[in-house]
Amino acid sequence: MVPEGWFVALAHRYPEVGERVVASVFRPPDYHVGMEPAPRQHPGSSPPTPAATDAFDGLAGVPDRFGRALRDLRISVTDRCNFRCPYCMPAEVFGRDFAFLPHDQVLSFEEITRLATLFLRLGVTKLRITGGEPLVRRDLPVLIGRLAALRTPQGSPVDLTLTTNGSALRALAGPLASAGLQRITVSLDSLDDAVFGSMNGVDFPVSRVLDGIGAARSAGLSPIKVNTVVRRGMNESSILPLVRWAREAGLILRFIEYMDVGHSNGWRLDDVVPADEIIAIIDAELPLEPMEANYRGEVAGRYRFRDGTGEVGVIASVSRPFCADCTRARLSAEGHLYTCLFAMSGVDLKTPLRAGESDEELEARIRSVWAARVDRYSELRSAATRDLPKVEMFALGG
Ligand code: SAM
Ligand code: SF4
Ligand code: SF4
């Protein structure tokens, strides 16, 4: 049943797991089909004037309907992964026979680089390579080299980073750093092999991820951040060991609230360990105090240890939504543009690109999508939104 206030157009793609919606339109509950949505004024945002050239951070850019600039682009280089984390790609749904994208439907390095260049022209300053598992994409350092060579219209280098499960990092950290990667985020949900094995779904050992982190450090990637998804009943007991380890190792650890991304992970609100609870667990042993955000739009709430030995973060998409400052777009491996992690549909850029559209035409296409953006899913999350047919996170780029 489609909840009130949502307009959904259906299309099907994944026969193995039943019908999956790939073409649909997100509308907030106050939207009336045939009418312009009434943009809500977010705190501190500029008035919703899509024609304006200055966004809420005072820099040139394209504001969306809530005045949020387009600053970050997450580029998924593959929808494949060697892990089966139950919160992302449960093995019982995405089994051996699952049909991932055929290679000719995945954007080539040339296509990714061309689109990234256009996003920079529209105000993007940060590129994050992701997936699926980005390190399973062959010759990834070649792409990194091309993206690292890009410049913003003002002539600045881009802030280039990558999120990985770390499984292939031991071999690839050096080549990625040599190609121009500056920093990296590694996902690691526990230091306990039994817990980590069930969180990654394939019994992948902790030691190999730690080897990868060591290789990243030796290669000079800095800072190294570690992402930990916390799921109730699975890995709360891993929180303190991870904090002690990361503090000792000088890594920036960030706990992520388990989110209702996609619609295959069986998410329930009861499975979420709220950020306040995570912070309280840490604070009881290692006293914390809140820190200022580095910049507007930063997703992690940051806390420093009161003894001055580092920091820890929480990404509280569920308990403290940060949509009002969300400047992120996602480009999926098949070349679709998504303006929200919880989107039910994207806009196909690959077809016009392969049909020969000019840079100007493609840029205008991206600009118009962003200018019309009204996404604020986490602010609207409710029992009714949980089962919406959202695109899977590994498909649109985490
Ligand atoms: N495969 C890479 C990895 O795991 O780091 C990159 C892609 S993954 C989709 C990006 C991030 O999303 C990872 O840190 C992962 O832990 C996180 N993630 C995936 N599913 C999640 C969920 N349901 N809730 C919260 N975070 C999730
Ligand atoms: Fe793979 Fe990352 Fe999803 Fe885990 S979170 S299944 S490593 S894409
Ligand atoms: Fe951004 Fe969507 Fe997440 Fe809100 S729910 S912060 S709009 S990606």
Q: How many domains is the chain partitioned into structurally? A: 1
Residue 321 lies in a domain: yes
Nearest CA owner, ligand 2 atom 3: 88
The contacts of residue 88 (CB under 8 Å, 6+ apart) are 81, 261, 262, 265, 392, 393, 394, 398
Peptide bond into 175 cis (omega under 30): no
We report the CATH number of the domain holding residue 27 as 3.20.20.70
Q: What digits encode the pLDDT tens for the residues 169-204?
A: 999 999 999 999 999 999 999 999 999 999 999 999
* Distance of alpha carbon 325 from alpha carbon 327, whole angstroms: 6
pTM, rounded to two decimals: 0.88
Nearest CA owner, ligand 3 atom 6: 323
Residue 151 lies in a domain: yes
Residue 46 lies in a domain: no
Q: What digits encode the pLDDT tens for the residues 315-347?
A: 999 999 999 999 999 999 999 999 999 999 999
From the CA of 231, how far away is ligand 2's center (Å)? Answer: 15
Best residue among 323, 331, 373 to mutate for probing ligand 3's pocket (most ligand atoms within 8 Å of CB) is 323
Residue 120 lies in a domain: yes
Residue 211 lies in a domain: yes
Closest among 137, 66, 126 to 100, alpha carbons compared = 137
Place 5 in a pLDDT band, splitting at 50, 70 and 90: very low
Task: Confirm if 259 and 320 have CB atoms less than 8 A apart.
Answer: no
Place 38 in a pLDDT band, splitting at 50, 70 and 90: very low
Residue 247 lies in a domain: yes
From the CA of 32, how far away is ligand 2's center (Å)? Answer: 37
Beta-sheet pairing, 328-331 with 336-338: antiparallel
Quote the strand ranges of the chain, DSSP E.
Answer: 72-76, 126-130, 159-164, 184-187, 224-230, 252-257, 288-290, 301-305, 311-315, 328-331, 336-338, 347-348
Which pLDDT belongs to residue 151? Answer: 97
Q: What digits encode the pLDDT tens for the residues 227-243?
A: 999 999 999 999 999 99
Residue 98 lies in a domain: yes
From the CA of 343, how far away is ligand 3's center (Å)? Answer: 9
Which pLDDT belongs to residue 56? Answer: 62
Instruction: Give the distance from CA 91 to its chain's centroid.
Output: 21
- pLDDT of 30 > 50? The answer is no
Residue 235 lies in a domain: yes
Structural domain containing residue 170: 4-37+52-396
Q: Which ligand is nearest to the CA of 321?
A: 3
Burial class (CB in 10 A: 0-12, 13-18, 19+), 108: middle
- Average pLDDT of the chain to the nearest whole number: 87
From the CA of 178, how far away is ligand 3's center (Å)? Answer: 33
Which pLDDT belongs to residue 97? Answer: 85
